[in-house]
Structure 1
Amino acid sequence: MNTLKDLQLLIEKGVTDLSFPLRPIELYEPITYILALGGKRLRPALLLMACDMFGGDARAAVPPALAIEVFHNFTLVHDDIMDNAPLRRGKATVHEKWNPNVAILSGDVMLVEAYKLIMQVDDRILRSVLEIFNNTAVGVCEGQQYDMNFEQQQRVEIADYLEMIRLKTAVLLGGALKIGALIGGASNQDADLLCQFGEQLGIAFQLQDDILDVYGDPDKFGKQVGGDIISNKKTFLLIKALELAADEQAAELQRWLDATSFDPAEKVAAVTAIYDRLEVRKHAERAMHTYTKQAFEALAQVSLTDDRKQYLRDFADGLMVREK
């Protein structure tokens, strides 16, 4: 079996080898640009990993894996427009480097290119793979819409938040694993179990991200600690704090949420102190561990030998052990 690094290198080479027409340059250059910004390529690598686990040819699965990567980057291009984000992986976003109209149209072409790549799977499983890909794509869009809705809502329920991150983040992990398993020759039952593994792990990963945004080491986490607090982003921690806070704590938290002029460091410190008093970190960590456990339970039911499943166990362990 290939190592994760081997599979990531396969994807990286595949991305580099993707070719697009030269004209009109404004349509195709942004696609090459966003794909060249890099990233860990974990989603397409998961597809190859699942294929490899079941004895399939990982190299033959590269086109559908690239479809997952192109689709993921398409969502980033459009999400950045909606978020008015100036940077992506430390570089100017497509709509900033060109303009929003170019970004929208290039993103549209990326979606079409993703379908052209996914269509390269064996005809025997094409209909099943397309159904998974379609359901995954719709789920990601639904998750983004829920996330935008939450920005306008005063209160969000924990259950609704968990469903949002399942759709926006986790279904793409599950879909990639399910497609890879089918390409590798897995049964529908095993493919479904790998999909469950990916979704549960994806939810756990996002919960960990919420925790690290407040409590992580910025030098190791790779993001601005407290960014979610500064922007009033509705994370698990904020939603839980709003649920638990009463009287003076509730009033203080609401004052910070309503403030339009503030010192960012002061706000982060004050809201973090409220989180500490309410022990919301413990609630978030408990939920994270629950979803991680459910992921491993799904993986345990896959009808492969333990040595083959260790592949994904090691991946999950690496994903969930991040620097604090």
Structure 2
Amino acid sequence: LQLFNTTAREVCEGQQLDMDFEKEANVGLEAYLHMIELKTSVLLAASLKMGAVLGGAGERNQNLIYEFGKKLGLAFQVQDDYLDAFGDPAKFGKQVGGDILANKKTFLLIHALETASGNQLKELNAQLQGNEERKVEKVLQLFRDCHVDDWALELKNKFLDEALAHLDDIAVLSKRKEPLKELAQFLVQREY
């Protein structure tokens, strides 16, 4: 019950941070990671840990599966942000660029703002202030120019590797971990 209550509170805190970020001009990567951890990752982590508790796992394994879920949640969110910008609309099921049109703080935008050159930063800020017809196209080009797409894929894989390392440390037979490894691969390689 404590895990459930803590998770419910954290998800609400994460949602509030997400709404607060809409009003803030500058959101750093660490603050965004914290928000995603609360809004998305702890829900997956708690679900996995509850299963471990119900299955009679020891405290160490419960904590490892929780950390697996947290890192997997981060990888999932990076993929979600990536798909919103660079996904195939036919596979994604909706038009890409919704986060860009809403000026939503995402991994991609935060990294672009942190790494853009002077001229790129000026153009990116101009696009964020405006509502011109080609906003999505122009911001995506700036993302590509700043190599945000490549960086996002590297970051996603980093979080996935960290998640799988926690899973590997769980003291159960490897074959019992396979469904979770398959789930992890599915969540981060999805195209929708």
The alignment's TM-score, normalised by the length of structure 2, stands at 0.96
Match of 2:120 among 243, 249, 253: 249
Cα deviation, residue 246, structure 1: 2.8
Match of 1:321 among 180, 189, 192: 189
What is the aligned partner in structure 1 of residue 163 from structure 2? 295
Cα deviation, residue 323, structure 1: 2.3
Q: Which residue identity does 1:311 align to in structure 2?
A: P
Name the SS of the counterpart of 2:105 in structure 1: coil
Match of 2:2 among 115, 122, 131: 131
Q: Are the equivalent residues in 1 in contact too, given 2:29–2:111 (CA < 8 A)?
A: yes
Which protein is bigger by CA-based radius of gyration?
Answer: 1
Q: Are the equivalent residues in 1 in contact too, given 2:156–2:188 (CA < 8 A)?
A: no
Higher RCO (C-alpha under 8 Å, 6+ residues apart):
2
What is the aligned partner in structure 2 of residue 141 from structure 1? 12
Distance between the aligned counterparts of 1:132 and 1:250, measured in 2?
A: 42
What is the aligned partner in structure 2 of residue 262 from structure 1? 132
Q: Which residue identity does 2:188 align to in structure 1?
A: M
Q: Which residue identity does 1:314 align to in structure 2?
A: E
Residues 279-298 of structure 1: per-residue CA shift (max 9 Å, x gap): 01122111111110010000
Matched, 1:165 2:36: yes
Residues 105-159 of structure 1: per-residue CA shift (max 9 Å, x gap): xxxxxxxxxxxxxxxxxxxxxxxxx111111111101101110111111111001
> Segments of 4+ in structure 1 off by > 2 A?
none
Q: Are the equivalent residues in 1 in contact too, given 2:88–2:96 (CA < 8 A)?
A: yes
Could you say what the CA RMSD is over the residues aligned between the two structures, in angstroms? 1.1
What is the aligned partner in structure 1 of residue 148 from structure 2? 280
Q: Which residue identity does 1:283 align to in structure 2?
A: W
Cα deviation, residue 231, structure 1: 0.7
Match of 2:103 among 219, 224, 232: 232
* Structure 2 segments unaligned to the other structure (5+ residues): none
Q: Are the equivalent residues in 2 in contact too, given 1:221–1:322 (CA < 8 A)?
A: no
Q: Which residue identity does 2:42 align to in structure 1?
A: V
What is the aligned partner in structure 2 of residue 4 from structure 1? none
Matched, 1:200 2:71: yes
Residues 191-214 of structure 1: per-residue CA shift (max 9 Å, x gap): 111111111001100001111111
* Structure 1 segments unaligned to the other structure (5+ residues): 1-129
Q: Which residue identity does 2:132 align to in structure 1?
A: F
Cα deviation, residue 245, structure 1: 1.7
Q: Are the equivalent residues in 2 in contact too, given 1:204–1:289 (CA < 8 A)?
A: yes
Aligned length: 192
Q: Which residue identity does 1:153 align to in structure 2?
A: E
Q: Are the equivalent residues in 2 in contact too, given 1:133–1:175 (CA < 8 A)?
A: yes
Match of 1:219 among 81, 90, 100: 90
